[in-house]
Amino acid sequence: MKLLLIPIILISFSLSAQDYSGHIIKLKNKGELFFNSFSQIGSFRKLRIRNHHFYKLTDNNLTKQDVERLASHPDVEYIEPDYYYDFVKPVEISWGREITEKNGFKKQWNLYNRGKKQRGRGLSYTEGKDISALKAWETTQGNNEVIIAVIDTGVDYDHPDLKENVWINEAEKNGEIGVDDDLNGYIDDVYGWDFAKNISDPIDNEWGHGTHVAGIIAASHNERGIKGVMNNAKIMALKIFNKKAEGEDRSPTSGIIESFYYAIENDVKVINASWGGGAYSKALEMALKDLAKNNIIFVTTAGNHKRNNDETPYYPGGYDSDNIVVVGAYDGDGAKSWYSGYGKEMVDVWAPGNDILSLYKRNPVGEFKYTEMSGTSMAAPHVAAILGLGHSIRPSLDYRAAIQVLMNTSKPEPKLNGLSRYGRADASSFLEGLGEL
């Protein structure tokens, strides 16, 4: 049986904060006096965040004077725009190929780079320029107790290469439909949550981007299609991007923040955030630091903008929180991918990003697909999965120790000298380094 490989490579999944949807307000307390004063100014919704008083204010015609009045109230810690983060339309490159159910791994140079050129495609590969997956698998292929959250466009949780490694909220799966069985503030959140539409089904949207990312992390080693960096893991689907009619995805900062705290409440070890860009948010930075307090590593991208991130901050990688790992993309020869952001201070490590074969969401007739995509979006999940392998053998691993070992065991790469803090992330060396702690 042959499986179609979708003839599209998505190059650019960077984001830009172009406008905003209302405001985020952080209160110092429950705000009884505040709401008495401003109940008529707009619609308030309390964000589902424990131990903090965050509200989303939806307003149509809030003036500068209104914002100043809100900010000066004694109950208000701060107020900021709830910026939208938009996907920039991807570049499409068309070439069609097919894979059989069993030959996908041969095309995964990112896991095992044989150094063979692909005839007719103008692509070059150097043997050994990969993440040393095969050697790492001699130590561990993962653990189903390790939960990795994919905050993205959703995940096709029924994909046959992924469904065994999908996180399931058993209380909701076995509970009553329409009831918040586990009392976590989310009704019927079996696979995660769609924060874009505020509904329970985080199924992937038209892009298929989140499913591709999830496959890189944890596609099952089931002799079908491809293999993930981890054979055993649990992928939590946290959807923040919603498809718009004009062809772009967008997410308000408030939805992103809520997804972080959902991860905190559900014992996530690593978050993969294959997106970036936009304006600085004090609330988002605080949420990232709360992830650190809960021993969660946040893996994100260096961006597809080709720029030096040392010169201009690229968020969320540019935030000041020591649990953030920023990943750039390299090609089959170990050189910086042409589109990848870089920075001697602001980019940490590198991972494969070009022509990465992974899963794709099912098509309208229900067929499950595979495709290649290129971008720093593809590089980041390699590192998220490597860290997941570490948690598989060291369940109580401290995030600071994990990140330091990841950096120290990365492979020096002359072609990347001066472009980042460290070299190419290496799964096998990372696991060996953990064994020496």
Q: Quick one: how far is CA 379 from the chain centroid?
A: 10
- For residue 23, what are the contacts with CB-CB under 8 A and spacing of at least 6? 56, 57, 59, 62, 67, 70, 79, 80, 81, 82
CATH topology match: 2-16+97-435 vs 20-87: no
pLDDT digits (tens, 9 = 90+) for 237-287: 999 998 755 445 778 899 999 999 999 999 999 999 999 887 899 999 999
Q: What is the CATH number of domain 2-16+97-435?
A: 3.40.50.200
Q: How far apart are CA 402 and CA 404, in angstroms?
A: 6
- Active-site position among 86, 152, 181, 355: 152
pLDDT digits (tens, 9 = 90+) for 153-197: 999 999 999 999 999 999 999 999 999 999 999 999 999 999 989
Banded model confidence at residue 6, pLDDT cuts 50, 70, 90: very low
- E-strand ranges in 253-382 read 270-273, 297-301, 324-330, 349-352, 356-360, 369-373
Q: How far apart are CA 14 and CA 1, in angstroms?
A: 36
More confident residue, 369 or 402: 402
Banded model confidence at residue 140, pLDDT cuts 50, 70, 90: very high
- Active-site position among 53, 159, 209, 391: 209
Q: Which two tokens stand for residue 246?
A: 């004009």
Judge whether 377 counts as a catalytic residue: yes
- Active-site position among 274, 377, 410, 429: 377
- Give the right CATH number for 20-87 from 1.10.730, 1.10.3470, 3.40.1710, 3.30.70: 3.30.70
Give the start-to-end residue ranges of the domains of the chain.
2-16+97-435, 20-87
User: Which pLDDT score, from 0 to 100, does residue 326 have?
Assistant: 98
Q: 72 by DSSP, 3-state: which?
A: helix
Contact (Cβ atoms closer than 8 angstroms) between residue 397 and residue 390: yes
Residue 14, Cβ neighbours under 10 Å: how many?
24
Q: How far apart are CA 364 and CA 12, in angstroms?
A: 24
Q: How far apart are CA 26 and CA 422, in angstroms?
A: 37
Q: How far apart are CA 228 and CA 385, in angstroms?
A: 8
Judge whether 221 counts as a catalytic residue: no
Q: Is 334 exposed, middle or buried (0-12, 13-18, 19+ CB in 10 A)?
A: buried
- For residue 36, what are the contacts with CB-CB under 8 A and spacing of at least 6? none
| Model confidence at 106: pLDDT above 90 | no
pTM of this structure: 0.92
Residue 231, Cβ neighbours under 10 Å: how many?
21
